[in-house]
C-alpha cells in the first residue's frame, strides 16, 4: 500500500500529476447504469432529441429551479424554471453560468493519490477507496470513530453524513456555520426560538420600511430575495442601508448610514432607545408576546442617538430619523437578517440586537415582516437502523452551550495535538474527509490548515475542481457537478411550500462520481454496505416521491416541482419562557450578557485600513473563479480605496498594488478602484479571487485573495463564530 508522506501544499502544476494505466481513457465521457438524465417525457438527456430537464441550481445554496436544455447529450442552456417558487423563471448570472462549471476543462477527472510531498498519481476508484477505507479503519481502531471528521458543504454531502453516523462519528462541521449563519441563527433563536430561515422569510416585497445592516442585496444576488427586494422598491418601500461602503443597495435607499466598522451594536441600541422612549414600538406585540421589556427599557435608557453618534461616526439626527422611519411604519417595517455574519466576535449579540428590534417593530410572524413559512416534509427512506451511538471528538455543548453546531475552526485545531485548551476534547482528530468546501478559502487564518495537515493520518478531498484544499490531500476524488447527479430534494420552509428535484441532466463526465456513490462504495469497503440499502440514489428519490403520491416521472411532468397549499402555522416561540426573550435568562445562566451591549473594537494602526470583504453578483467566491462564462463577465477583483487614501499612498485608479496585513502577510497584486463610495478608514475586496492552484487556467493568480490576509479573528464566545473583520491592511 502507498505510504503517506508528510504533505506540503505546493502550487500544484499539471506535471505534479503522474499518469496511470489504471485510468486510461479518463478524458472520455463515461456512461454508467442508472445515471441517465430524464426529461419530462421520460426520455433521457443523452438521446439525440433536444429536451428540457428540470432540476435545481447549486452554484449557491439558494436552490433555484432551473430548466436545462440538452441536445445530443450535451447541456446547452440553463434558464430559470417558471413554475419554481424560488426562481419564478429567472436566474442570477451565476445560475445561468452553471454550464461553465460543468464543461470546465480544468475539472478533476480521475481519483488522485499523493505519492510524495508534491506529486499525485492517477489511480482507479477501487484503489482510491480501498486505500481510504483501510486508513479509516485504522484510525477508528486506534483512536475511535470520532477521530474521523467530516468537513462539508451543500446537499451532496448528505450520504457522507449518513456514513459518518453509521461509522459512529458525529465529528462534523461546515464552514458556513462559523462564517455565515451560525451567529445570526443563534441570536434569532435565542430571541424567538427560531431562526429567520436559510432563504430568509423576509417580506421585502411587502414591507414599507426595511433596514439593511451590512447586507448588500444587488451584489449578493440571491435570486428570489433580490426579486422580492426589487418588487418592494417598485412598490415604494423606503430602505435604510447601514454600511461603511456605498453599496448597490445604498444607491437605492432613502438613507445611507456610512457607519464606522464595528459600531453596529451602538447604532442598534440607539434605535431601541428611540423606539421605546418615543413610544414607536408595537405595543400589542410586545405586551402579548415578549418578556423582559422593563429590563430592556432601562438597559437602553442612556443609549441615545447622541451617545451612539460618538461611536458610529454617524450624525445623531440621522440615527434618530431612521429609528423614527422604522417605528412610524410599525408593523410594516423590519431589519433584514443578513448573512456572512461573523465580523467582530460579538456577532450573536449583534443578531440579538437586530432580532430584538424586529420584536419591538412587531415584525416576527407578520406577513409584511419576518413571516412564518410552511413546508412539505420529505418522507424518510427506510434505511436500516444504525447500531452505533455516534460520538463527537469535541464536547461542543460544554464549550458552546447555546451554540447549534461545531465550528470548523475547532475541528481544525483539534487536529493539532495540544492546541485546544480547556479539556473539552474527547479524542484527537486524525482524519478528514472534506466534501465540496475549499477550506483554505473558507476559514480565516488558513495557515492553520497547513499545520493541521501535518498531523493527520488521512486527508481526503471530494471536489469537482482543483482547488487550494486539494493541494493538501492524500487522496482527491472527482465529484460530479450538480448537473450530473441525483441529490436530496429541496423543500425549504417558505411562503409557497414545495419540493423540487435535483437530477442528472447529462451523464457524469470523465471518471467523476456523485457524492452518494462515493459514500455508498466507501461504506462497502468499510463493511457498512448493508446500511446503504439502495443501488442508485434515484431509488431513494423515487421512494420519497411515491410516499408523497408522486414519482420522478410525475414530478418531471410538473416541471420538477411539487407544491401544496400554504397553511398558516401557529405562532409559537420555542424559547424556555415560550415568549420572545428581550431579556434572555438562558444567556445569563450561561454567563453571557442577557441583553446586547456595545463593546468598542480596536482601531486600525496608523497607515492601516480595515479590510472589508464581500461579494460580486457574478461569482460565488472561489466556487466560480475559474468558470469561463463568469470570468468573462467579471474577470478579476479590485480593491476599493477612498480618493483621500489613494492620494496619501500615491495610488491611481487601475494601478496594481499588493496589500500587506498587520502581520506582514502579503496578497497577490490587485487593481485599485478609487472611489468615494467607501469610508476613509477601510478598504473593500470581493472574496474568492487570487487562486493559487496552477491547474486553474483562468483563476490562477488573478486578483487578490482576502482570506490569506485574514490571519486573525475574534471568536464569538456564544457560537465559536470567527469574526474576521478585525484585520487591517496597508499598500505595498
Q: Would you tell me which residues interact with ligand SF4 (CB under 6 A)?
A: 57, 59-60, 62-64, 91-92, 94-95, 221-223
Q: Smallest gap, in angstroms, from Cβ of residue 80 to ligand SF4?
A: 7
Q: In terms of CB distance, is 86 or 150 closer to ligand SF4?
A: 86
Residue nearest to ligand SF4 (CB): 95
Q: Smallest gap, in angstroms, from Cβ of residue 511 to ligand SF4?
A: 26
Residue 63 near residue 86, CB atoms below 8 Å? yes
> Would you call the peptide bond into 649 cis, given omega within 30 degrees of 0 as the criterion?
no
Cα–Cα distance, 593 to 187 (Å, whole number): 12
Cα–Cα distance, 36 to 33 (Å, whole number): 7
Q: Smallest gap, in angstroms, from Cβ of residue 495 to ligand SF4?
A: 17
Q: Smallest gap, in angstroms, from Cβ of residue 96 to ligand SF4?
A: 7
Q: In terms of CB distance, is 356 or 501 closer to ligand SF4?
A: 501
Q: Smallest gap, in angstroms, from Cβ of residue 95 to ligand SF4?
A: 2
Identify the bridge partners of residue 657 per DSSP, sorted by sequence position: 670
Q: In terms of CB distance, is 57 or 582 closer to ligand SF4?
A: 57
Torsion-angle region of 279 (φ positive above 0: left; ψ -120 to 50: alpha; else: beta): left
Q: Smallest gap, in angstroms, from Cβ of residue 501 to ligand SF4?
A: 15
Q: Smallest gap, in angstroms, from Cβ of residue 485 to ligand SF4?
A: 16
Q: Which among 149, 156, 111, 157 has a CA at the least distance from the CA of 130?
A: 111
Q: What is the 3-state secondary structure (H, E, C) of 83-140?
A: CCCCCCCCCCHHHHCHHHHHCCCCCCCCCEEEEECCEEEECCHHHHHHHHHHHHHHHH
The DSSP output letter for 49 is: S
Tell me the CA distances in angstroms from 525 to 149, 159, 619, 648, one per residue in order: 18, 15, 38, 62
- Give the count of beta carbons closer than 10 Å to the beta carbon of residue 330: 23
Q: Smallest gap, in angstroms, from Cβ of residue 719 to ligand SF4?
A: 25
Q: In terms of CB distance, is 92 or 458 closer to ligand SF4?
A: 92
Which strand (E) or helix (H) includes residue 16?
A: none
Tell me the CA distances in angstroms from 475 to 128, 461, 468, 629, 691, one per residue in order: 7, 6, 14, 29, 21
Q: In terms of CB distance, is 223 or 711 closer to ligand SF4?
A: 223
Q: Smallest gap, in angstroms, from Cβ of residue 335 to ligand SF4?
A: 22
Q: Smallest gap, in angstroms, from Cβ of residue 60 to ligand SF4?
A: 3
Q: How deeply is 321 buried, as exposed, middle or buried, from its count of CB atoms within 10 A (0-12, 13-18, 19+)?
A: middle
Q: In terms of CB distance, is 60 or 267 closer to ligand SF4?
A: 60
Q: Smallest gap, in angstroms, from Cβ of residue 466 to ligand SF4?
A: 21
- Provide CB contacts within 8 A for 75, sequence distance 6+: 45, 68, 69, 99, 102, 103, 483, 505, 506
Residue carrying the nine cell digits 412610524:
328
Q: Is 397 helix (H, G, I), strand (E, B) or coil?
A: helix
Q: In terms of CB distance, is 162 or 502 closer to ligand SF4?
A: 502
- Provide CB contacts within 8 A for 388, sequence distance 6+: 145, 165, 166, 167, 168
Q: Smallest gap, in angstroms, from Cβ of residue 218 to ligand SF4?
A: 13
Q: Smallest gap, in angstroms, from Cβ of residue 620 to ligand SF4?
A: 6
Q: In terms of CB distance, is 365 or 504 closer to ligand SF4?
A: 504
Tell me the CA distances in angstroms from 204 to 264, 337, 355, 633, 640, one per residue in order: 22, 11, 16, 28, 28
Q: In terms of CB distance, is 221 or 414 closer to ligand SF4?
A: 221
Q: In terms of CB distance, is 57 or 266 closer to ligand SF4?
A: 57
Q: In terms of CB distance, is 60 or 270 closer to ligand SF4?
A: 60
Q: In terms of CB distance, is 93 or 643 closer to ligand SF4?
A: 93
H helical segments located in 336-444: 347-360, 396-399, 408-413, 439-442
Q: In terms of CB distance, is 95 or 111 closer to ligand SF4?
A: 95
Please state the φ and ψ torsions of residue 549, each to the nearest 5 degrees.
80, 25
In the chain, what are the helix, strand and coil shares in percent, each to the nearest 5? Answer: 30, 20, 50
Q: Smallest gap, in angstroms, from Cβ of residue 389 to ligand SF4?
A: 37
Tell me the CA distances in angstroms from 567 to 357, 372, 374, 412, 577, one per residue in order: 27, 10, 6, 43, 26
**What would the grid cell of residue 226 be?**
433580490
Strands 728-731 and 656-661: antiparallel
Q: In terms of CB distance, is 355 or 491 closer to ligand SF4?
A: 491
Q: Smallest gap, in angstroms, from Cβ of residue 370 to ligand SF4?
A: 20
Residue carrying the nine cell digits 432607545:
273
Q: Smallest gap, in angstroms, from Cβ of residue 627 to ligand SF4?
A: 11
The DSSP output letter for 691 is: B
Q: Smallest gap, in angstroms, from Cβ of residue 101 to ligand SF4?
A: 10
Q: In terms of CB distance, is 479 or 716 closer to ligand SF4?
A: 479
Please state the φ and ψ torsions of residue 264, each to the nearest 5 degrees.
-60, -40
Cα–Cα distance, 111 to 475 (Å, whole number): 7
Q: For the chain, how many residues are written? A: 732
- Give the count of beta carbons closer than 10 Å to the beta carbon of residue 379: 12
Q: In terms of CB distance, is 223 or 661 closer to ligand SF4?
A: 223
First to last CA, the chain: 48
Q: In terms of CB distance, is 300 or 616 closer to ligand SF4?
A: 616
Q: In terms of CB distance, is 623 or 677 closer to ligand SF4?
A: 623
Residue carrying the nine cell digits 462519528:
169
Q: Smallest gap, in angstroms, from Cβ of residue 455 to ligand SF4?
A: 36
Cα–Cα distance, 717 to 3 (Å, whole number): 40
Amino acid at each position: 500500500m502507498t505510504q503517506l508522506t508528510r504533505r506540503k501544499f505546493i502550487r500544484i502544476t499539471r506535471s505534479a500529476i503522474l499518469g496511470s494505466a489504471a485510468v486510461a481513457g479518463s478524458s472520455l465521457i463515461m456512461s454508467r447504469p442508472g445515471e441517465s438524465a430524464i426529461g419530462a417525457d421520460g426520455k433521457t438527456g443523452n438521446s439525440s432529441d433536444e429536451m428540457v430537464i428540470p432540476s435545481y441550481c447549486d452554484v449557491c445554496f439558494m436552490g433555484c429551479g432551473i430548466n436545462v436544455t440538452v441536445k445530443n447529450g450535451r447541456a446547452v442552456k440553463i434558464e430559470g424554471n417558471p413554475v419554481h417558487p424560488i426562481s419564478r423563471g429567472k436566474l442570477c448570472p451565476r445560475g445561468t453560468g452553471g454550464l461553465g462549471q460543468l464543461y470546465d476543462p480544468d475539472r478533476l477527472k480521475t481519483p488522485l493519490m499523493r505519492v510524495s510531498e508534491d506529486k499525485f498519481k492517477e489511480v482507479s476508484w477501487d484503489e482510491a477507496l480501498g486505500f481510504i477505507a483501510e486508513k479509516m479503519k485504522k484510525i477508528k481502531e486506534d483512536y475511535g470513530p470520532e477521530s474521523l471528521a467530516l468537513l462539508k458543504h451543500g446537499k451532496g454531502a448528505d450520504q457522507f453524513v449518513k456514513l459518518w453516523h453509521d461509522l459512529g462519528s458525529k465529528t462534523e462541521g461546515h464552514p458556513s456555520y462559523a462564517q455565515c449563519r451560525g451567529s445570526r441563527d443563534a441570536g434569532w433563536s435565542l430571541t424567538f426560538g427560531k431562526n429567520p430561515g436559510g432563504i430568509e422569510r423576509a417580506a421585502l416585497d411587502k414591507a414599507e420600511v426595511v433596514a439593511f445592516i451590512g447586507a448588500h442585496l444587488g451584489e449578493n444576488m440571491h435570486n428570489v430575495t433580490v426579486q422580492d427586494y426589487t418588487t418592494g422598491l417598485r412598490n415604494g418601500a423606503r430602505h435604510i442601508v447601514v454600511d461603511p461602503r456605498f453599496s448597490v443597495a445604498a444607491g437605492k435607499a432613502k438613507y445611507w448610514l456610512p457607519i464606522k466598522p464595528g459600531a453596529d451594536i451602538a447604532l442598534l441600541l440607539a434605535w431601541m432607545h428611540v423606539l421605546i422612549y418615543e413610544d414607536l414600538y408595537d405595543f400589542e406585540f410586545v405586551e402579548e408576546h415578549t418578556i423582559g421589556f422593563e429590563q430592556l427599557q432601562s438597559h437602553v435608557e442612556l443609549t441615545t442617538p447622541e451617545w451612539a453618534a460618538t461611536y458610529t461616526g454617524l450624525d445623531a439626527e440621522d440615527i434618530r430619523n431612521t429609528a423614527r422611519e422604522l417605528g412610524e411604519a410599525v408593523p410594516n417595517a423590519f431589519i433584514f437578517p443578513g448573512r456572512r455574519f461573523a465580523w467582530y466576535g460579538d456577532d450573536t449579540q449583534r443578531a440579538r440586537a437586530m432580532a430584538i428590534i424586529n420584536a419591538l417593530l412587531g415584525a416576527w410572524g407578520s406577513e409584511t415582516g419576518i413571516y412564518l413559512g410552511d413546508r412539505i416534509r420529505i418522507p424518510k427512506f427506510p434505511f436500516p437502523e444504525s447500531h452505533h451511538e455516534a460520538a463527537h471528538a469535541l464536547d461542543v455543548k460544554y464549550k458552546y452551550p447555546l451554540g447549534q453546531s461545531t465550528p470548523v475552526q475547532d475541528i481544525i485545531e483539534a487536529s493539532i495535538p495540544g492546541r485546544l485548551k480547556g479539556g473539552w476534547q474527547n479524542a484527537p482528530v486524525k482524519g478528514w474527509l472534506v466534501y465540496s468546501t475549499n477550506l483554505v478559502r473558507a476559514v480565516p487564518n488558513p495557515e492553520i490548515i497547513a499545520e493541521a495537515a501535518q498531523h493527520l493520518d488521512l486527508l481526503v478531498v471530494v471536489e469537482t475542481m482543483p482547488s487550494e484544499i486539494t493541494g493538501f490531500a492524500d487522496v482527491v476524488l472527482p465529484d460530479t457537478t450538480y448537473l450530473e447527479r441525483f441529490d436530496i430534494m429541496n423543500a425549504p420552509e417558505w411562503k409557497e411550500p414545495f419540493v423540487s428535484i435535483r437530477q442528472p441532466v447529462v451523464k457524469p463526465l470523465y471518471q467523476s462520481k456523485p457524492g452518494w456513490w462515493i459514500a455508498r462504495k466507501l461504506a462497502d469497503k468499510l463493511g457498512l454496505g448493508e446500511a446503504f440499502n439502495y443501488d442508485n440514489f434515484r431509488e431513494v428519490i423515487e421512494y420519497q416521491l411515491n410516499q408523497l403520491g408522486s414519482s420522478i416521472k410525475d414530478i418531471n411532468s410538473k416541471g420538477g416541482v411539487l407544491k401544496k397549499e400554504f397553511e398558516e402555522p401557529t405562532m409559537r416561540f420555542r424559547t424556555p419562557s415560550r415568549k420572545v426573550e428581550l431579556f434572555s435568562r438562558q444567556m445569563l445562566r450561561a454567563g453571557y450578557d442577557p441583553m446586547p451591549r456595545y463593546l468598542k473594537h480596536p482601531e486600525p494602526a496608523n497607515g492601516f485600513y480595515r479590510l472589508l470583504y464581500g461579494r460580486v453578483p457574478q461569482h460565488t467566491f472561489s466556487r466560480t473563479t475559474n468558470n469561463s462564462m463568469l470570468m468573462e463577465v467579471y474577470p478579476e477583483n479590485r480593491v476599493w480605496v477612498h480618493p483621500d487614501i489613494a492620494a496619501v499612498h500615491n495610488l491611481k485608479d487601475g494601478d496594481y498594488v499588493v496589500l500587506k496585513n498587520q502581520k506582514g502577510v502579503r496578497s497577490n497584486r490587485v487593481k485599485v478602484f478609487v472611489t468615494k463610495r467607501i469610508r476613509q478608514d477601510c478598504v473593500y475586496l470581493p472574496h474568492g479571487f487570487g487562486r493559487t492552484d496552477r491547474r486553474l487556467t483562468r483563476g490562477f493568480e488573478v486578483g487578490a485573495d482576502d482570506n490569506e490576509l485574514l490571519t486573525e479573528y475574534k471568536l464569538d464566545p456564544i457560537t465559536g463564530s470567527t469574526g474576521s473583520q478585525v484585520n487591517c491592511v496597508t499598500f505595498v
